[in-house]
Structure 1
Amino acid sequence: MKIKLETLQHQLDALSAIDKAFPGIDNTSNDPDADYIYANSLIKDRYNDKANIDIKMETGTGKTYVYTRMMYELHQKYGLFKFVIVVPSPSIKEGTRSFITSDYAKQHFSEFYENTRVQLNVINAGDFSSRSRRKGRKNFPAQLTEFVESTRQNTNQIEVLLTNQSMLNSTSMKSDDYDQTLLGGETSPIKSIAATRPIVIIDEPQKFPRNKKFYRDIEAIKPQLIVRFGATFPEITICKGKNKVTKIDYYRGEPQFNLDAVDSFNQGLVKGVDIDYPDISEEQASNLYKVKQVKPKELILTKNGKDYQINVGENLADVDSNFEGNITYDGGTERKLSNELLLAKDMKLIPGTFSVNYQDEIISQALDRHFEAEQENFLRSNSNKNVPKIKTLSLFFIDSISSFRSDNGKKGWLADHFESLLLEKLNKLINKYSKLNGKREKEYYDFLQATIHSLKSEHQKVYAGYFSKDRGSSDKYIQAEVEDILNNKEKLLSFKDKNGNWITRRFLFSMWTLREGWDNPNVFVIAKLRTSGSDINKIQEVGRGLRLPVDENGHRLKQDEWPSRLSFLIGYDERDFAQKLVGEINEDSPIKLNHDKLTEEMINLIVKNQQKTNPEFTSDQLVNNLGELKIIDFSHNFKNDVQIDDKTISGFDALCQLYPEIKNQTTVANDRVRDKNSTSLTKVKLRKDNWKQLQELWGQLSKRQMIKFNSDVNQKAEIIAQKIFDQQNIFVLQQHQIIHNELKVSDGQAFTNETQSDDNNNYLTMKYGKFLKSLTKQTGLSVNLLNNLMIEKIKSLSNDDRYINEKTLANLVRTFNRQFNQEIINSYKYEELNFTASTSIYNAKKQQFIDSISANDLGVYQSDSNSDETYLYERPPLRYDSAEPELEILKRSYDDKVKVFGKLPKRSIKIPRFDNGTTSPDFIFKIENEDGPVYLIIETKAENMRVGDEVIKTVQEKYFNRLKESGVYYQMATSEQQVHDLIKKLEDNDKIN
C-alpha cells in the first residue's frame, strides 16, 4: 500500500493565508550582498516581527504538510531556497524527517512543482562527535556543509536544515574553533547558517517562548522571516496599569490563519472521541490518599487526617496492600514512583487503580474497542464488495518497560497478560467467522487465523513496543519492532506484504515516547495504563489518534465517507477527562461567549457569517433586530424573559436560536467528544408512520446497483492517448540551468551580478524502461500501446531521446488523466442487481425501517424547532450540518401537499460512485398532486461548488433519472428558496428537469 496525499481545502486555505501575509521580496535594496549566491533573496521588513507569520492548526490537521508545501510555494514564486525547521524534540524531528523524505510526499509534491526537490539535511547530536574529525581536524558535519554552501545555481533544489531545540542550543553549534571553514571564512555553525539569510519554520511554538533561551538561539541564526506552526502558542504577561494580563503571544496580534480545535472537531477534520474508563466501587473510590509533601528522599501521603511517610526505596504496599505491583518511591529530582508516575503536591492516589487486575480490565476494554473498530473497518458494512478495507491500529501507554520486556528480552507480566486476553478474544471471533460464508467475512477469518499463528510463533509479529532505551539496541527483533513503528508507516497500514502474507502487527506499546512527532492515521484506540501525572494538554494526549484514517489503497477518508472515532481508555482517576477535553477545545475558540451581554466579538462573528449571503448586513442592523425582538436592552445586556415561538427563554438562548453560528463556531458539537460511561450515545427516533409512506420507494432504493461502464471505454482511452501524443508542447526538452556571476565594482564596492540561462549542452533525461513503466502505472494504459506510440513519436522527433524526461512524463500523465476523467463521467450506467442491502436507515432482511439512528448521522449541530407532524423524526432538536441552506429548509413550514419530509441520514441510500465510494443525497419530500404522489430528492451545496460537488451532482442525477417513471425527481439546490420553488412546481403538477 502506498499512502496518497490529497489536497484538503483547509490546507489550501492556510497556504493562501501565508501567501497573503508574506511581505514580498525587496527588489529596491542597495545592500551589496543582495545577490549573494549562498543566501536567500532579501525580504521586505526582514528581521522584523511585523513580517513574521503565525499559522494556528489543530493537532491532526496536517501542519507538517502545509509548511512543507509552503517551502515549495516560496521557492516557486520568489526563488527562496534556504529554510531551517526547528522542532522541540528528537521524536518530532524524526516525524518531520520521515514525512519530507517519504516517497508518497515526494510524489505528491512533484505533481505541483515539476522537477523541484527538497534536499533535507538533518543535524543530530552525534554529527559533531569526534568520529567526524579526520586526522585530528575538527570539521563540520556533511549535512551542515551541504546546507550552507549550496548556491542558487541549482534552481530546482530547496535546501532545508532540520534540527531540534537542544541541538541548536548545544556548544557544538555555537563553537567557533573548527579547522574547516564555510563560505570561505566562517568557522562557526551558527554564523555560517546566519549568512544564508534563512527562513525559519518553528514547529510547536509553545516550546519556544520569545523570552526564553531557545528562542534566542533561533534569533542567533538571524532569520529574515519566521513562520510558526502550532496548535498552541506561548503566553505572555503584560502590565495594564497596576494589573497584569496574560494573553497569547502572536507576532501580529493574531494568527494569519486560525483552524482552532472547535472548527477541527465540528468540521470533521479529525476523529470524534469516545472516552472509556473502568468503573470501581464507591468503597474503592473513597479509599483515597493525597500527596501532602513530595521531596527527593521522602514522600508523605495523607488520608483522613493521618500522615504516612514513605522513604526512597520503600514500598507503597506497606501503607495499603491495594497498592499492588511492588511499587516503590524512587524520589530524586523527578520525584516519581517506580512505575514512572511523576508525583506532585495535592495529587490523589487511589490504591485500587494500581492493581494488576485493574490494568487487565483496561486492556480487555481496549481490545473490545479495537475489534469493534476492526470488524467495521475490515468489512465496511459489506455495502460494497469492492470498497477498500481499513487497517485498525491500537496504541497502549504503559507505566514501566520491565512490565512489557525485561532486560534479557523476555516478556514481562503485562505482555503475558495482554497475549492471554488477546488470544481469548481472537478465539471467540474465529468461532464466529468460521460460520459465515461472505467473501469479506472469510477474508477476515483468514486474517484472524494468521494473527493466532503469529502469536504462537517464536517471534510474534502482532504487537510491538518502542521505548527510548531501544535506540541502538543490538537485538534484531527489537530493532525490527522499532523500525516498523517509527519508519514503516505504510507497512503498518497494509494488510499484506509483497508476497501476499498477512501483516498482523497492529498493537503498539510505549511510555509516551510515541506522542508529539509520531503520526499514524489509523490509530483507532489509545489505552492509558498509567496516569499522566501532570495536567498536560488533553488534546495532545489524544493527538496520536485524531488524524482521519486511510484505506488500504492509501486514500485518506473524510468523515462523510466513513465516520471515524477514537476510543480513548483511561483510569478511573481521570474520569473527568471528557469534560476537561471539551473545555480545552472550547477554550481554544477565539470568541468567548458571554451569556449576560452581547459583546463586540459576538457581533463581529454573526455579521461576518451573515455577510456571506447578505453583503449589506451590518452590525447596526443586527443590534436593531435584537432590540426590536426585545432580546437585548440599550446596553446590549440580554433580557431574561424573551418570547420566541410561544416559549419563554433567555436572551442568550434566543440569540443562539436566531443565529446558530454563534455557538456552532465557538463550541464543540455534541457527540464529537463523548463520555461513554456517563451517557448513552445520542439517538434520534424515527416516526415510523411517516417512513411507511416511503416504503414503496425504498423497495426500489434498497436494491443494489452496479456501475457498468460502456464497452468502448478502453477504446476511448486509446483514442485519447493517441490524440495526446499528437499534441504540441507535450514532449519537451529539459535542460540544466547555468548561473553566471559577473564580478563588478561600483562606488568602491565589489559585488556579483547573477544571470541565468539554459545549458544547451546538458539535458536531463530518463531511461526509456523507467519512463515507460512509470507512464503505464500512472495512466493504466497497456505497455504495448504506449510503447508503439512512443516509438512513432520519437521517430517524428528525429529519434532524439532527450525528449524522454520527467517533464514530458508529467505532461503526458496530467493531460491524459484530465481528459480521460472528463470522458468517463458520461460512459457508464447503473444496472440493478437481484438483491437488496441494508443501509443506515433500512433493514433489508426484514424489509423495514429501523427504530432509531445516531444523531451524528443527521448532522453535527442541533437547533430547537416547533414540532411538525410531517417530519421524518421526533423533534426537537433538529440536527443539521450547515445553517445555509440545510437549517433553513428544516425550519420552513410546508403546506398540506407535502405529506412527509426530512433530512436523509449519512449512508441512507449508498449510491455507488464511478470514482469509488458511495454518496447519499440530503433531503427527501413526498408531495401529493393531482396525479398522485411524487418524490423530490435534494442534494444541498454551497453557492461555490467545488469539483467534488460536481461529481456528486452528476452521479446522483444519473442514479435518480432512471426512476422518473416512478415519480422521483432529483435536484441540487444551493438555497432554501430553490427548494420551495421546486416543491411548488411539483404541487402544481409541473414537471422539472
Structure 2
Amino acid sequence: MKIKLETLNHQTEALAAIDQAFLGLDTTTNDPDAKYIYANPLVKYRYQDKANIDIKMETGTGKTYVYTRLMYELHQKYGLFKFVIAVPSPSIKEGTKSFITSDYARQHFSQFYENTQIQLNVINAGDFNSRSKRRNFPAQLLDFVEGTRQNANQIQVLLINAGMLNSKSMNRDDYDQTLLGGETSPLKAIAATRPIVIIDEPHRFPRGKKFYTRIEELHPQLIVRFGATFPEVTTGRGKNKVTKPDYYRGHPQFNLNAVDSFNQGLVKAIDIDYPDMAEADANNRYRVKATKAKELILAKQGKEYTVSVGENLADIDPDFAGNITYAGGTDRELSNGLALAKDMELIPGTFAESYQDQIISQALDRHFEAEQRNFLRVEAGINAPKIKTLSLFFIDSISSFRSAEQGKGWLAQHFEELLAQKLQTLIEHYELTMNPREEEYRSFLQATLTSLRSDHQDVYAGYFSEDRGSSDDDIQAEVEDILQNKEKLLSFKDANGNWLTRRFLFSKWTLREGWDNPNVFVIAKLRTSGSEISKIQEVGRGLRLPVDETGHRLTQDEWPSRLSFLIGYDEHDFAEKLVGEINNDIPVSLDHTQLTDEMVRLVVKAKKAANPDEDESALTEKIIEELGDRGIINFSHKFKDKVNFEGQEMSGYEAFMRMCPELAYQTQVAQDKVRNMKHNRAQTTVKLQKSNWNQLKDLWLQLAQRQMVKFDDGVNQSSATIVSDIFKDQDQCIFVKDVKQNIHQELATADGEAVLRETQQDYHGKYRTMKYGAFLKQLVLQTDLPPALLNELMITAMRDRLGNDTDYINEKTLGNIVREFNKRFKENVWQRYSYVPLQFSASTSIYDAQKQEFVDELPANVLGVYAAEAMKDDRYLYDRPPLRYDSSDPELKILKRTYGDKITVFGKLPKRAIKIPRFDRGTTTPDFIFKVEREDHPVYVIIETKAENMRLGDEEIRVIQKKYFDQLQASGVYYRMATSEDEVHTLVNKIARGEIEPDDITH
C-alpha cells in the first residue's frame, strides 16, 4: 500500500496565510555578504519578532505537511534554501524524518516543485563520536552548513531535537575541523548560514528557557512556529494577573482551532470509556501532598500518610494491590513506573491487575468493533477498500511488558490471553459464512491467532525510550515497524501475499507526541499519564483521519470514523475536561449578556458561506432586525432575561443560540464529537423510518436507474471550435510567463494614515515552468478534450506565436486555458444535453440497489451538520428528535412547519441520495421530498433550496434537476426550486387541497 497525499483546503489556507504574513526579501540592503553562497538571502526585518510567524493548527490536521511544503514555497519564490527544523524530542524527530524522506511525500511535492529536492540532514546523539581520538564534525552537519546556492534545485534542511541542540557536542568550539573555513563551533557555523528556523510543538520551547535560548544562538532571520498549543506568558499581579498564549505578533497568522477541527470533520470524533467502580472505591482517594527524594506524603480527609522509599503503599491501605513501593529519587516515581506530581489523586482500587485486565478487555472489544466495520466496508452495495485498524496502549512500565527474567512481562501475558479469547470467538462467528469478504476477514483473524501463538509473534509490538540502540533483533524489528514503516503498518499483506497482522502497539508515553499514524482507532491508558498535559494532546495520536488500503485518505463524509479512548475511573471527568479545553480554544468569547459585533460577524460568515451571493451588510441588518422583532434583544442589543422562543421559556442568549445555531457550530464542539460513553449516547447515525421510506419505493426504483449525460450532436465540434478560438485569441493573454518575484512591503504614512506599500521585483529573471507532458496531461484531464487536438494546437501556438519559448508552459497558462474554456463552454453548450437511461441501477447513500431496499440508518452528518430538538412526527422520514440540517434558514424552518393531513411522508434528502449527473461531471441531489395523497394518484413534490456545489449557481442547478425529472417520466413527480419556507409550505399545502393542479406547476 502506498499512501497518497492530497492537498486539503485548510492546509493551502495556512500556506496562503504564511505567504501573506511573510514580509519578503530585503532588496535594498548594502550588506556585502548579502550574496554569500553558503547563506540564505537576507529577509526583510530579519532577527525581529515582527518578522516571525505563528501558525496554530490542531493536532492531526497536517502541520508537518504544511511546514514541509512551506520550505518548497519559500525556496521557489525567494531562493531561501537553508532551514532548521527544531523539534522537542527524538520520537517527534523520527516522525518528521519519516515523512519528509518518504517516497509518497517526495512524489507528491514533485507535482508542484519539479526538479527540486530536500536534502534532509538529521543530527542524532552519537553522530559526533569517532573511533579516532580526533574531534570531527558529523557528515550531516558538514553537508548542511557547506551546501551552496549554486545547487539551485536543492533545499538544505537540518532536523534536530531540543536535547541535541542543547548538548555539549553542539555547543563546544574545540573541534579539530573547521566549517566554512573558520568556524569551530556547530552553533556558530549554523548561524553563519542565516537560517530560517521552523519550531514544531512551540509550547515545548518557551521564550527565556534554555531550548529557546539555543535557537536564538542560531541567529535565525525568521522563525515560523507550528503547534496546537503555544507557550504562555503571565502579566500583571493580583486581580490584574492575566495569562495568555505568547504569540509573536499578538495573535497567530493562521488559526485552525480545536472547535473548527472537530466540527468540520478534519479529525476523528472521540468516545470516552472507563470501567465502572463501586461508589466506596471511587471515593477512596489519596491526594499527593508532596513528593520528596526520600519520602512520599499522601493526604486523605484531613489526615496525612508518609511513605518512605522502599515502603509498600499497601501498609497504609490494603487496596493498593500489587506490591507497589515508593521509588523516590529525582523521578519521584512509584515502583510500577507511575510518575507522581503534587495534587495528583490516587485511587487504590485502580492499581489492581484485574482492573487493568478490565481496561484491556474493553479496549479489545472496541478494537474489533472498529476492525469489523473497517474491514467489511460496503459502499453503494459493493465492497469498498478495507481500512487497517490499529490500537495504541500506554502502559506504566517496560518491565510489565518485557521481563529480563521471563521474556514477557505480566501485562503482555495477560494481553495475549485476552486477545486469543477474542480472536477464537470471532473466528467461530465467521466459520460458516458464505460472504467472500467475511471469509477473507476470517483468514486474517486465523493468521493473527497463529502468529500470536508462535515463538516470534508479529501481532503486537512495543516502543520505549530504552529500546533505542537495543541489540535484540525482535525488538529492533518492532521499533522499525512502529517508527519507520508506516505504510507496512497500514497494509494488510506483504509482497508475497502473506497477512501483516501487527496492529496492537504499546508504549510508555514515548509515542505521546510527534508520532502519527492515521489508522489508530483505539487508545487505552492503563495508567494515568502522571501530569496535567493537554487532553487534546493525549488523544492526539488517534485524531488523524484514516487511509484505506489504496492509500486514499477518507473524509468524515466518506467514512465517519471515531476514536475510542479508554481510561481508568480516576479520570472519569476526562470527557468533560476535553470538551472544556476544545471550547476554550476559540479566538472569541461569547457574551451571555449582550449581542456583540463579533458574534454577529461569525453568524454572517457562516450564512454567507452557505449562500455566497448574500450581501454581508444586508445579512447583518436582517439578523439584528429579526432578533429585535422576536424580543430576544432590546434596542441597545442586550439579551433579555426571559424570552418565549418557540413555545419554551428561556434566556435571550439561549434563544439567540437556538435561532443562530451557526454560532454554536463555530464556538462550541458539537455534542456528538466527544462522547462520555457512560452518560452520553449522542447519535452519530440516524435511523430511517422504513415504513415511510417504503411509501417512496416505486419512485425510488426509477430514481435508482443510472442516467448518463449525453450532449447533443455538434457539441464535440463546438468544444473543438471553442478551444481553437482560445488558442488563437491574442486579446485574452492566455499564454503568460510565470515570473518568480520578490514582494517588498513597507509601512508608510500618507494623509495621516498608515498605509502598506508593496512593490514586486523579478527574482533573478527566472520563470516557473512545467514539463510539457505534465502540462498536456492536466489540460486533457481538466477539459476532457482529445489529447491529439490539444497537442496540435499547442505545437501551432508555440511555433507561430510564442517562438518555441518553453517558459510559456506553466501553471498560469494552464489555468488560463482551462478557465476560459469552462467559461465559453458554459455560455455556449451547457444546456445542450439530455439524460439517457442505462441498463443498471445504482446504489446511493439511502438505497441499496442490489437488495432493492432502503438502508437501515445513515451517518448523521450526511443528513446535516447541525442538530435541533423537535416534536416527533410519524410522517417524517427519520426518527426525530433531533432534526439534522445544514442551514437554519430555510432548511430548519421547512422541517419545523406544520403540513396538512394529505402530506403522508416528508423529509430532507441526504447528500448523494439521488446522484443526478451534472454536465460538469459532478452530481447533485435536491433537498426535500414530500408525498402528497391525491384522489387519483400520489404526487411527489421534490424541492431544491440551495446550490449544492458553489461552483454552480441556483439557475444551473435548477436547469439540471428540472431536465432530469422531466426526462425521468416518473408518474406524479414535480420539481420546484424554492427560496423560503413560506414558498414550500404554500406550494405543498395548495397541491394537497387541489388549489394547484399539476399542470400549473413549473416542472
TM-score, normalization: structure 2?
Answer: 0.81
Q: CA deviation at 1:700?
A: 5.5
Q: Which moved more, 1:284-293 or 1:683-692?
A: 683-692
Question: What does residue range 706-721 of structure 1 map to in structure 2 within 5 Å?
Answer: none
Question: What does residue range 69-80 of structure 1 map to in structure 2 within 5 Å?
Answer: 69-80=69-80
* CA distance, structure 2, for counterparts of residue 86 and residue 59 of structure 1: 17
User: Alignment partner of 1:139: what SS?
Assistant: coil
Equivalence for 1:560: 557
Q: Which moved more, 1:517-526 or 1:642-651?
A: 642-651
Equivalence for 1:523: 520
* CA distance, structure 1, for counterparts of residue 957 and residue 367 of structure 2: 33
- Show CA shifts across 1:110-133 (max 9, x none): 1111111111111122222244xx
Q: CA deviation at 1:182?
A: 2.2
Q: CA deviation at 1:306?
A: 4.6
Q: 1:609 to 1:843 in 2, by over 3 A?
A: closer
Which of 924, 928, 932 aligns to 2:929? It is 924
Figure out how many residues of one structure are paired with residues of the other and give that number.
930
* CA distance, structure 2, for counterparts of residue 20 and residue 983 of structure 1: 50
- Show CA shifts across 1:258-305 (max 9, x none): 110000000000000001111012232233333343322122334455
Q: Root-mean-square deviation (CA), in Å?
A: 4.9
* CA distance, structure 1, for counterparts of residue 226 and residue 160 of structure 2: 15
* CA distance, structure 2, for counterparts of residue 241 and residue 311 of structure 1: 38
Q: CA deviation at 1:638?
A: 1.8
Task: Supply the AA of the counterpart residue of 2:480.
Answer: E
Which of 901, 907, 910 aligns to 1:902? It is 907
Q: CA deviation at 1:573?
A: 0.8
Equivalent pairs: percent with the same residue? 66
Q: CA deviation at 1:921?
A: 6.6
Task: Supply the AA of the counterpart residue of 2:403.
Answer: S
Matched, 1:266 2:263: yes
Answer whether contact 1:657 1:864 (CA < 8 A) is retained: no
Equivalence for 1:862: 867
Q: CA deviation at 1:342?
A: 1.7
* CA distance, structure 2, for counterparts of residue 307 and residue 687 of structure 1: 60
Equivalence for 1:208: 205
Equivalence for 1:185: 182
Equivalence for 1:45: 45
Matched, 1:697 2:692: no
Answer whether contact 1:838 1:844 (CA < 8 A) is retained: no
- Show CA shifts across 1:387-415 (max 9, x none): 10111011111112111111257111111
Equivalence for 1:880: 885
Q: CA deviation at 1:386?
A: 3.9
* CA distance, structure 1, for counterparts of residue 73 and residue 442 of structure 2: 48
Q: 1:658 to 1:915 in 2, by over 3 A?
A: closer
* CA distance, structure 2, for counterparts of residue 878 and residue 286 of structure 1: 40
Matched, 1:439 2:440: no
Answer whether contact 1:943 1:974 (CA < 8 A) is retained: no
Q: Which moved more, 1:635-644 or 1:652-661?
A: 635-644
Matched, 1:670 2:641: no
Equivalence for 1:548: 545
- Show CA shifts across 1:938-957 (max 9, x none): 67776873699999999999
Task: Supply the AA of the counterpart residue of 1:965.
Answer: A
Question: What does residue range 539-938 of structure 1 map to in structure 2 within 5 Å?
Answer: 539-609=536-606, 613-617=614-618, 626-633=627-634, 636-682=637-683, 690-698=692-700, 850=856, 855-856=860-861, 858-864=863-869, 871-873=876-878, 875=880, 877-883=882-888, 886-887=891-892, 890=895, 900-905=905-910, 923-926=928-931, 932-935=937-940
* CA distance, structure 2, for counterparts of residue 555 and residue 951 of structure 1: 31
Equivalence for 2:65: 65
Equivalence for 1:128: 128
5+ residue gaps, structure 2? 711-715, 729-761, 782-786, 792-803
Equivalence for 1:164: 161
Question: What does residue range 296-445 of structure 1 map to in structure 2 within 5 Å?
Answer: 296-381=293-378, 383-407=380-404, 410-445=407-442
Task: Supply the AA of the counterpart residue of 2:671.
Answer: N
Matched, 1:18 2:15: no
User: Alignment partner of 1:125: what SS?
Assistant: coil
User: Alignment partner of 1:144: what SS?
Assistant: helix
Answer whether contact 1:397 1:511 (CA < 8 A) is retained: yes
* CA distance, structure 2, for counterparts of residue 473 and residue 68 of structure 1: 31
Answer whether contact 1:329 1:336 (CA < 8 A) is retained: yes
- Show CA shifts across 1:782-817 (max 9, x none): xxxx9xxx9xxxxxxxxxxxx9x9x99999x999x9
Q: Which moved more, 1:77-86 or 1:863-872?
A: 863-872
User: Alignment partner of 1:965: what SS?
Assistant: coil
Answer whether contact 2:381 2:848 (CA < 8 A) is retained: no
Answer whether contact 2:862 2:910 (CA < 8 A) is retained: yes
- Show CA shifts across 1:922-974 (max 9, x none): 54343568984454556777687369999999999999888443555789999
Matched, 1:505 2:464: no
Equivalence for 1:799: none
User: Alignment partner of 2:541: what SS?
Assistant: helix
Q: 1:577 to 1:828 in 2, by over 3 A?
A: farther
* CA distance, structure 1, for counterparts of residue 930 and residue 289 of structure 2: 65
Q: CA deviation at 1:239?
A: 2.9
* CA distance, structure 2, for counterparts of residue 843 and residue 280 of structure 1: 48
Answer whether contact 2:916 2:925 (CA < 8 A) is retained: yes
Which of 213, 220, 224 aligns to 2:221? It is 224
Q: CA deviation at 1:38?
A: 1.8
- Show CA shifts across 1:47-102 (max 9, x none): 22122111111000001101111111111122211111111111111111110000
Which of 279, 284, 289 aligns to 1:287? It is 284
* CA distance, structure 2, for counterparts of residue 128 and residue 957 of structure 1: 73
Matched, 1:199 2:201: no
User: Alignment partner of 2:649: what SS?
Assistant: strand
Q: CA deviation at 1:143?
A: 1.2
Q: Which moved more, 1:350-359 or 1:968-977?
A: 968-977
* CA distance, structure 1, for counterparts of residue 140 and residue 945 of structure 2: 53
User: Alignment partner of 1:65: what SS?
Assistant: helix
Q: 1:632 to 1:480 in 2, by over 3 A?
A: same
Q: Which moved more, 1:668-677 or 1:531-540?
A: 531-540
- Show CA shifts across 1:868-910 (max 9, x none): 7754345554322455765465456778886543223568679
* CA distance, structure 2, for counterparts of residue 890 and residue 691 of structure 1: 17
* CA distance, structure 2, for counterparts of residue 960 and residue 685 of structure 1: 28
Q: 1:371 to 1:583 in 2, by over 3 A?
A: same
Q: Which moved more, 1:278-287 or 1:936-945?
A: 936-945
* CA distance, structure 2, for counterparts of residue 247 and residue 32 of structure 1: 42
- Show CA shifts across 1:591-648 (max 9, x none): 2222233345324433544565322248677556544543234554321122333443
* CA distance, structure 2, for counterparts of residue 590 and residue 164 of structure 1: 30
Matched, 1:150 2:151: no
5+ residue gaps, structure 1? 711-715, 729-753, 759-763, 766-770, 781-785, 791-802
* CA distance, structure 2, for counterparts of residue 978 and residue 122 of structure 1: 65
Q: CA deviation at 1:26?
A: 2.1
Q: Which moved more, 1:967-976 or 1:21-30?
A: 967-976
* CA distance, structure 2, for counterparts of residue 476 and residue 919 of structure 1: 55
TM-score, normalization: structure 1?
Answer: 0.82
Equivalence for 1:761: none
Answer whether contact 1:197 1:224 (CA < 8 A) is retained: yes
Q: CA deviation at 1:233?
A: 1.1
User: Alignment partner of 2:616: what SS?
Assistant: coil
Q: 1:150 to 1:830 in 2, by over 3 A?
A: farther
Equivalence for 1:492: 489
Answer whether contact 1:607 1:617 (CA < 8 A) is retained: no
* CA distance, structure 2, for counterparts of residue 679 and residue 263 of structure 1: 22
Equivalence for 2:746: none
User: Alignment partner of 2:587: what SS?
Assistant: coil
- Show CA shifts across 1:452-508 (max 9, x none): 111122111111111111111111111111111111110111011111111111111
Equivalence for 2:798: none
User: Alignment partner of 1:420: what SS?
Assistant: helix
Q: 1:598 to 1:219 in 2, by over 3 A?
A: same
Q: 1:104 to 1:913 in 2, by over 3 A?
A: farther
Q: CA deviation at 1:856?
A: 4.9
